[in-house]
């Protein structure tokens, strides 16, 4: 007889049931020669014909089979969540950013966040128009947070998204045929979120890599979301020709959104400082 291994490693499944005697628990009773469950009063044993002979085999009473059903449903729900987490892990490379979602917005920048919510809600239209976003502003104004909210929301909607820093992506490019293949593979993403434009060190190889990423995206006609600490002045009037080529393409692919307000990093620092003050020095 074939024995199937069950969920938790015990024997389970129909084949195993057929070879097993029903287990009597306290409260169970015999009626019409068959074991019955003391809790739900349905049969725990039944008669079957096996090769011409009648045999008594174990079966699931109502409460047991309901329990099995519940476990199956819980397992399916767990698998759905895990699948979403895997998708999100593939979409947003930095694990810290996967938690940055619209529902965590502290409301400090309502105008921008509302615009970004609408951007996500009207995604098919935005994609159709190759409408990208250019989020600029000082350090700590929430640019990366805002970009991550968009990346996570669209991923939740099932849109293929990749969010990574430009430096990280430039470093991953490789050379020769590998580089071309990598750049082509980026076209598989409906949205590319590139964090921290302008943060890259000025090596020629890095600048060339950034140029190729932006240029290949430009050619694909698919949108990008870019975040940057560059000032508007630096973006409009770059000193180097190579930067100009990159910025011109980005300008054509995006609408600019300024992130204002004081740095949240200072605020977070102050909160930490105050908390520490309370812990260390106050009675
Ligand atoms: N809208 C927001 N709601 C809640 N926290 C935010 C928001 N914007 C930024 N933060 C927090 O402030 C800090 C700095 O934000 P970040 O996006 O990294 O700034 P930037 O990329 O502009 O330098 C982060 O810890 C982030 O979690
Ligand atoms: Mg940032
Ligand atoms: Zn029962």
For residues 159-185, give the mean pLDDT: 90
User: Which ligand 1 atom lies nearest to the CA of residue 141?
Assistant: 22
For residues 39-61, give the mean pLDDT: 90
What ranges do the domains of the chain cover? 4-65, 92-262
Token pair for 88 = 């999100």
User: Which ligand 1 atom lies nearest to the CA of residue 227?
Assistant: 21
Task: Give the range among 206-215, 238-247, 254-263, 272-281 with minimum mean pLDDT.
Answer: 272-281
Q: How far apart are CA 229 and CA 136, in angstroms?
A: 6
Whole-Å CA distances, 95 to 92, 175, 256: 7, 27, 27
**Nearest ligand for residue 42 CA:** 3
Q: State whether CATH 3.20.20.70 applies to domain 92-262.
A: no
- Tell how far the Cα of 237 is from the centroid of ligand 2, in angstroms: 22
- Predicted TM-score (pTM) of the model is 0.72
Q: What is the pLDDT of residue 283?
A: 61
Q: Which residues contact 85 (CB under 8 A, 6 or more apart)?
A: none
Is the C-beta atom of 62 inside 6 A of ligand 1?
no
Q: What mean pLDDT value characterizes the chain?
A: 88
Asked if residue 263 lies in contact with residue 231, where contact means CB atoms within 8 angstroms, the answer is no
Tokens 């409260």 belong to which residue?
A: 27
Is the C-beta atom of 142 inside 6 A of ligand 1?
yes
Task: Give the range among 177-186, 212-221, 224-233, 271-280 with minimum mean pLDDT.
Answer: 271-280
User: Which ligand 1 atom lies nearest to the CA of residue 195?
Assistant: 21
Is the C-beta atom of 245 inside 6 A of ligand 1?
no
Task: Dump pLDDT digits (tens) for 93-116.
Answer: 888 999 999 999 999 999 999 999
- Tell how far the Cα of 172 is from the centroid of ligand 1, in angstroms: 26
Is the C-beta atom of 140 inside 6 A of ligand 1?
yes
pLDDT band at 4 (very low <50, low <70, confident <90, very high): very low
């Amino acid at each position: 007889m074939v024995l199937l291994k069950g969920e938790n490693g015990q024997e389970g499944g129909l084949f195993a049931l057929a070879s097993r005697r029903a287990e009597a628990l306290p409260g169970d009773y015999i009626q019409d020669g068959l074991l019955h469950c003391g809790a739900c009063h349905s049969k725990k044993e039944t008669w079957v014909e096996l090769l011409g002979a009648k045999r008594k085999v174990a079966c699931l009473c109502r409460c047991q089979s309901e329990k099995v059903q519940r476990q199956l449903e819980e397992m399916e729900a767990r698998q759905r969540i895990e699948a979403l987490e895997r998708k999100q892990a593939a979409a947003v490379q930095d694990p810290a950013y996967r938690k940055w979602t619209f529902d965590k917005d502290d409301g400090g920048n309502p105008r921008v966040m509302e615009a970004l919510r609408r951007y996500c809600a009207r995604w098919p239209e935005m994609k159709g128009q190759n409408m990208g976003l250019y989020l600029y502003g000082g350090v700590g104004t929430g640019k990366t947070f805002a970009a991550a909210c968009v990346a996570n929301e669209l991923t939740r909607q099932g849109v293929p998204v990749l969010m990574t820093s430009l430096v990280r992506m430039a470093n991953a490019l490789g050379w020769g045929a590998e580089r071309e293949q990598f750049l082509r593979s980026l076209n598989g993403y409906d949205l590319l979120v590139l964090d921290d434009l302008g943060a890259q060190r000025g090596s020629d190889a890095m600048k060339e890599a950034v140029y190729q990423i932006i240029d290949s995206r430009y050619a694909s006609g698919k949108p990008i979301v870019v975040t940057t600490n560059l000032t508007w002045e630096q973006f409009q009037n770059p000193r180097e020709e190579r930067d100009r080529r990159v910025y011109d393409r980005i300008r054509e692919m995006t609408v600019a959104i300024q992130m204002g307000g004081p740095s949240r990093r200072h605020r977070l620092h102050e909160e930490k400082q105050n908390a520490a003050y309370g812990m260390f020095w106050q009675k």
